């Protein structure tokens, strides 16, 4: 096989894997979205706030003890059974310590949030740690070996089990306990399924602890920084506002993240092992990064800004009038997705190059900036003030991150980075103008929502194609996606036959 044919085969494999994971991830998230809509109708914002408080504590304990063994296994092309056994043992130890820590910390957390109901919620949710520790570590091989069909089936089955349990409990109890029960059922089902889907039977050993810890120690530092960067604001809101406001704030974050996260997460799940395979060929790694960034920006940026534009109608139609308080939060948080669409691939490139320390330092710099701002500069800021502060700091962090990426990949230029995103940015501006113009009509919320979505989609599609034509139809995200669509049509025609 020639080098060019091998490269083409790898590209086709990546595209198929990406398409599969995107499709399946969206199926999975559709279930989650339906679950959110049902819960929003059956429960009240305070219920979401109580569970959000418990989840913050659970996630903090998890990240404080998580050594990121899955990353160490994926990055090691020669991982043996001993590596998997050691990783499983480490994770089991982590789970036991985390469960004990959470049970002891529950009363203190309830006191901080001024919400006594959260004590028992946290203590029950601690069971999830014990369950997680027993999950078969062999399922990591699904992602490592790019067997994304099996990877999805595993994740999808867990989600379905949790969905059924959550909705059933919510219907019967109409209480925040429904979400707690659903999470535990999903986790328990996942443990059982992991051993059914993968033949590996791990055993207790710390034989390869030194090798795994050499990578994982910096993953841990980076993970703690990332957690604080992503969750410290919720801790502050929970301490300064009541459970209902935190519920609105948290649900708004989940909704605003859906368009970008659910497009980018499955793509990155494919790209990380792909980048890892090209880490010794910097020219190929650079090409893959620019292409991935272009494709991700092309599809994720309009999704993020589009959500901001339709938020008022979307909330009234899907969630109901009792949730109108989430609208301004969604509109602010949508800009986070706008910036995330540009930077997400760069994080995986730095991780591939072994620059975990750089990512860890970046996370902690952003945590420091937020902590100084929210505690020293704006000590009285409420939920809305904190949301705007996060947006401003995210813009600052974006500039810092681009500078770090250019420094670590010295053959990469700022012009190349900007060229890969400039057309989607201009097209999004045109889309926003068209949607605002269409919104002047006095229509019911359902009709206005439909009009905005159709006008936005058509405007963006036409704008991006026009800009690409005016630029001379250069190679990039547009040509790549159009080529893959044409290839898919040809294959579809071949299967149908004459």
Which ranges of 319-413 would DSSP assign to H, the alpha helix?
327-352, 356-371, 383-408
pLDDT tops 60 at residue 5: no
* DSSP per-residue codes, 251-296: HHHHHHHHHHHHHHHHHHHHHHHHHHHTTT-HHHHHHHHHHHHHHH
> How many of the other CB atoms lie within 10 Å of CB of 91?
20
For residue 10, the model assigns a pLDDT of: 47
Q: Is residue 420 part of a domain?
A: yes
Mean pLDDT of 318-330: 87
Chain Cα centroid distance, residue 10: 25
pLDDT in tens, 252-270: 888 887 766 666 665 665 5
Q: What is the pLDDT of residues 464-498, one digit of tens each?
A: 999 999 988 888 778 877 876 777 677 655 555 55
Q: 392 lies in a domain? A: yes
* Number of compact structural domains in the chain: 1
Let me know: does 153 contact 198? Beta carbons within 8 Å. Answer: no
Residues contacting 165, CB < 8 A, separation 6+: 181, 182, 185, 186
Residue 325 contacts residue 248 (beta carbons within 8 Å): yes
Evaluate whether residue 12 is within a structural domain: no
CA angle (234, 237, 240) in 5-degree steps: 150
Mean of the pLDDT values across residues 421-430? Answer: 91
Q: 6 in a domain, yes or no? A: no
Residue 449, in any domain of the structure: yes
339 or 253, which is more confident?
Answer: 253
- Residue 27 domain-assigned (yes or no): yes
Q: Residue 362 and residue 340: Cα distance in Å, rounded? A: 15
List the domain range (segments joined by +) for residue 84.
Answer: 17-491
Instruction: Please choose, from the candidates 143, 164, 151, 163, the residue with its C-alpha nearest in 3D space to the C-alpha of residue 193.
Output: 151
5 within some domain: no
In a domain, 321, yes or no: yes
Asked if pLDDT for residue 386 goes beyond 90, the answer is yes
Alpha helix stretches (DSSP H) within 138-242:
140-144, 148-173, 177-197, 209-240
Task: Answer yes or no: are the C-beta atoms of 289 and 346 closer than 8 Å.
Answer: yes
- How many whole angstroms separate alpha carbon 237 and alpha carbon 243? 9
């Amino acid at each position: 096989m020639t080098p060019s044919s091998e490269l083409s085969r790898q590209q086709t494999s990546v595209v198929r894997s990406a398409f599969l994971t995107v499709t399946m991830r969206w199926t999975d998230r559709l279930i989650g979205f339906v679950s959110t809509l049902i819960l929003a109708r059956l429960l009240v914002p305070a219920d979401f706030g109580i569970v959000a408080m418990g989840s913050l504590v659970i996630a903090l304990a998890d990240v404080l003890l998580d050594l990121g063994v899955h990353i160490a296994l994926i990055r090691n092309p020669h991982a043996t059974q001993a590596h998997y056994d050691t990783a499983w043992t480490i994770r089991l130890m982590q789970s036991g310590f985390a469960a004990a820590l959470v049970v002891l910390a529950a009363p203190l957390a309830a006191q901080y949030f001024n919400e006594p109901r959260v004590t028992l919620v946290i203590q029950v949710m601690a069971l999830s740690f014990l369950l997680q520790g027993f999950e078969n570590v062999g399922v990591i091989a699904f992602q490592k070996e790019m067997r994304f069909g099996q990877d999805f089936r595993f994740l999808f089955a867990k989600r379905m089990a949790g969905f059924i349990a959550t909705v059933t409990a919510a219907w019967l109890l109409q209480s925040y306990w429904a979400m707690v029960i659903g999470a535990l059922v999903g986790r328990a089902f996942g443990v059982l399924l992991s051993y059914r889907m993968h033949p590996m039977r791990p055993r207790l050993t710390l034989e390869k602890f030194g090798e795994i810890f050499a990578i994982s120690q910096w993953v841990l530092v980076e993970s703690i920084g990332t957690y604080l960067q992503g969750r410290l604001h919720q801790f502050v809101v929970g301490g300064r506002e009541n459970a209902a406001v935190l519920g609105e704030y948290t649900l708004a974050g989940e909704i605003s993240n859906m368009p970008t996260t659910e497009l980018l997460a499955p793509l990155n799940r494919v790209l990380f092992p792909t980048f890892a395979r090209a880490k010794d060929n910097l020219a190929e790694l650079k090409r893959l990064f620019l292409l991935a960034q272009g494709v991700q920006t092309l599809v994720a940026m309009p999704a993020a800004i589009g959500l901001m534009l339709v938020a008022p109608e979307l909330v009234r139609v899907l969630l109901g009038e009792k949730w109108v308080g989430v609208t301004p939060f969604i509109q602010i948080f949508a800009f986070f997705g706008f910036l995330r669409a540009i930077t997400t691939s760069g994080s995986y490139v730095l991780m591939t190059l072994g620059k975990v320390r750089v990512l860890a330092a970046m996370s902690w710099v952003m945590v420091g900036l937020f902590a100084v701002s929210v505690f020293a500069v704006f000590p009285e800021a409420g939920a809305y003030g904190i949301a705007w502060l996060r947006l401003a700091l995210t813009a600052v962090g974006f500039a810092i991150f681009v500078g770090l990426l250019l420094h670590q990949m010295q053959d990469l230029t700022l012009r190349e980075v900007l060229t890969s995103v400039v057309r989607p940015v201009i097209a999004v501006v045109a889309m926003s103008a068209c949607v605002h113009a269409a919104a002047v009509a006095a229509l019911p919320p359902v009709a206005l929502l439909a009009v905005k979505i159709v006008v936005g989609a058509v405007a963006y599609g036409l704008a991006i194609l026009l800009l690409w034509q005016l630029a001379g139809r250069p190679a990039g995200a547009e040509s790549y996606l159009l080529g893959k669509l044409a290839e898919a049509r040809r294959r579809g025609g071949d299967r149908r036959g004459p």
